[in-house]
Amino acid sequence: MPVDLGERSYNVLVGAGVRHRLCEVIPTGAARAAIVAQPATDFPVDAGIEQHTFLLDKGEEAKCMESVEELCRGFSRWGLTRGDVVVAVGGGVVTDTAGFAAAVYHRGVAVVHVSTTLLGMVDAAIGGKTGVNLPEGKNLVGAFWQPSAVLCDTELLGTLPPREYRSGLGEMAKYTFLGVDNLLDLPLDEAVAACVRCKADHVGPDERDLRGRRALLNYGHTLAHALETTGHYDLRHGEAVAVGLVYAARLARRLGRIDDGRVDEHLAVVGGYDLPHCLPDGADVAELVAVMGRDKKVESGSGGHLTFVLDGPRGLEVVSDVGSATAAAVLHEEMQP
């Protein structure tokens, strides 16, 4: 499936075993491939050219500036040139971090993503957003750097731990509200392909997320990122997104944008994926609201108002005038366990 971006267009290949087609998508002229992975990734790939593996630490903690520096220094010591390629093999942590390193090393080296998780396949590996976290928030440092190709090997999904797979389902649930119907009824490769197609349709007209269609892909993510940033809760990304979807629906109802029936639809979708729908025990509402105020969607001069993607009569929209008190009230009154 193509991601149509003019001169930066590329294909996403979805299916069992597509990682074995890596050599077909290596950019012409590349002599070396820097393979970036995490220690738990035991899916060898063959780029068809000289290659060397660089390992990131395990877990979300590896998605940081220190990892980018270590990768770039490793690339330099090995002799990676601007005409070579970085190959990110793994989930979102790997593709986000390696993609950012590729974007800044020599001011831009080609990158190919080999996605090995459901979350990566339906979201993180596609669209060219790369970046790492700061203690103050998720994805606050990064670059737009489109890959040369993305390989989504659905054969690997059978090896995922249950919670890792479940995390990907949280992102799949989001696509229901972006117009992708009956995902639960589709074979897995077709469901992944439908999500990829939807994301490509949103990225193409708004590559750099200039408050157009692409911003709608952040549905459910404002609270989700706050839950992840505060770091006190045992939630994977997709689980946090599921909570964020229900919260966004209840916030939209509080603002008069949708009715009870539409909130019930959100609860049914999230429940259909067996995902959480309320805050974890002991959640600090004041802290969550403060972190949401630092979300990258918040506009300059917003006067303390928060920005969310919310459902409404015209579907999903970016809403930039949500009062902090209203956001906190919904957390207090409607999202408790």
As a whole number of angstroms, the distance between CA 65 and CA 70 comes to 9
- Predicted confidence (pLDDT) at residue 97 exceeds the cutoff of 60: yes
SS3 content of the chain, % helix, strand, coil (to 5): 45, 20, 35
- Which range (70-74, 102-106, 160-164, 249-253) has the least confidence? 160-164
Q: Output the pLDDT for position 231.
A: 76
As a whole number of angstroms, the distance between CA 32 and CA 79 comes to 9
Question: Which domains, from first to last, does the chain contain?
Answer: 2-174 (3.40.50.1970), 219-334 (1.20.1090.10)
Check: CB of residue 269 under 8 Å from CB of residue 174.
no
Give the helix/strand (H/E) hosting 238. Answer: helix 237-254
Q: Give 107-140 pLDDT, tens digit per residue.
A: 999 999 999 999 999 999 999 999 999 988 889 9
Q: Give 20-43 pLDDT, tens digit per residue.
A: 999 999 999 999 999 999 997 778
Distance of CA 321 to the CA centre of its chain: 25
% the chain with pLDDT above 90: 86
As a whole number of angstroms, the distance between CA 66 and CA 233 comes to 24
